[in-house]
Amino acid sequence: MNSSDIARALEVAKRAARVGGSVARARLADPGYLQWKGSRDVATDASFEVQKVIVRTIEDESTDIAVLAKEGPEDTLIPVDAKYLWIVDPVCGSLNFAHGLPHFGISIALRAEGRIIAGVVYDPCRDELFEAATDSPSKLNDRKIVVEQILEGQEAWNNAFVGTDWATGGERREQTREILGLMENQILELNVAGSPALGISYVAAGRLHAYWHLDIKFWEIAAASLILRQAGGILTDDKGMSWLHSNGGYIASNDVIHGWLLNCIQAVTNADFDPRRPKIPLPRLD
């Protein structure tokens, strides 16, 4: 796609996000029935409505496209080979939304020729729209944003404001608990927000220095990955390798503290994990 096509795609994503956000905001106090898809994994009636208006807006504006949407339907084949693939998470932060907490995001990304070329994360409750395209910088409500990299080395780690969210259950949830225990006395603060798309976008905007999660789905991270990259941040899997081949673990940061965060996570995930064992020391970097 050329620059004008990418710019048009970004405008479509922004329009669809705002349309979906209007519905989500109106339904926040009335999310409707709950559909439990797994432990701590919920979809609401309102989520399906939000997704429907987003997809309709995209289809009205675009041709020759395919859509990968979080809420299915479940029997839909994933169009991984589509030339143009829209990736939609109508409510990233569904537990917050289901409980009436006004902290969730709408994530829309366009993948073309195997790479994300445009992405939007919209917080309808604060009317904050994060956006990026491959040929333009990241923005928040039309203002350029960059990751925050004020300090260096150990001082940066000790003063880091780090975000995370809980895995839904099982071993990864227990690993998250132990990683949090290792970090708590080494960094400035930990924040558990409930929306990976917003968490990573906050790193891009300099509100957080890093965000990590051991169990993210692709639709939660597709748009935010581009927003972070175009803001000067770095995204890897939880082994420090390419995020594109992750099994669900991701680390987003300003790059300065990436090594400390990776060491802390791997101190738990690389061990023979047993939640009953004594806490293990964090490896030193020097």
160 in any annotated domain = yes
Strand order in the sheet with 136-140: 66-69, 84-92, 105-112, 115-123, 128-133, 136-140, 143-144
88 and 163 in a single domain? The answer is no
* pLDDT given at position 139: 98
Residues 43 and 94 in one domain: yes
Are residue 65 and residue 176 in the same domain, yes or no? no
Residue 121 and residue 181 in one domain: no
Verify that 24 and 117 share a domain, yes or no.
Answer: yes
Q: How far is CA 36 from the centre of its chain?
A: 21
DSSP-H helix ranges across 62-185: 94-98, 153-158, 170-183
Q: Name the token pair of 113.
A: 């020729």
Q: What is the per-residue pLDDT for 280?
A: 45
Co-location of 162 and 67 in the same domain:
no
Instruction: Please indicate, yes or no, whether residues 227 and 121 belong to a single structural domain of this protein.
Output: no
109, 144, 179 — which closes off a domain? 144
| Assigned domain for 274 exists | no
Residue 278 pLDDT: 46
Considering 117, 144, 171, which residue would you say is the last residue of a domain? Answer: 144
Q: Give the pLDDT confidence score for residue 173 in this predicted structure.
A: 92
Q: What's the CATH number where 203 sits?
A: 3.40.190.80
- Is 94 within the bounds of a domain? yes
Q: Determine, yes or no, domain membership for 18.
A: yes
Q: Is residue 167 domain-shared with residue 118, that is, in the same domain?
A: no
Q: Are residues 15 and 96 in the same domain?
A: yes
First-to-last CA distance in the chain? 46
For the chain, what is the domain count?
2
Q: Does one domain contain both 169 and 127? A: no
- Both tokens of 276, joined, read 């009953």
pLDDT of res. 286: 40
* pTM for this entry: 0.90
Q: State the pLDDT at residue 270.
A: 86
Q: Which CATH number characterizes residue 61's domain?
A: 3.30.540.10
Residue 282: how many other CB atoms lie within 10 Å? 16
* Closest C-alpha among 136, 97, 98 to residue 120: 136
In the structure encoding, which two tokens stand for residue 243, read together?
């995020």
Q: Is residue 101 part of a domain?
A: yes
162 and 140 together in one domain: no
Q: What is the pLDDT of residue 246?
A: 83
Query: Is 162 in the same domain as 136?
Result: no
Per-block mean pLDDT, blocks of 10 residues, the chain (286 long)? 90 97 95 77 89 94 82 62 89 94 97 93 98 96 93 88 92 93 92 94 97 93 97 94 86 93 92 52 44
Report yes or no on 275 lying in a domain.
no
**Domain extent at residue 238:** 153-269
Strand partners, 37: none
Asked, for residue 233, whether it belongs to a domain, the answer is yes
In a domain, 137, yes or no: yes
**Given 85, 119, 144, which residue is the final one in a domain?**
144
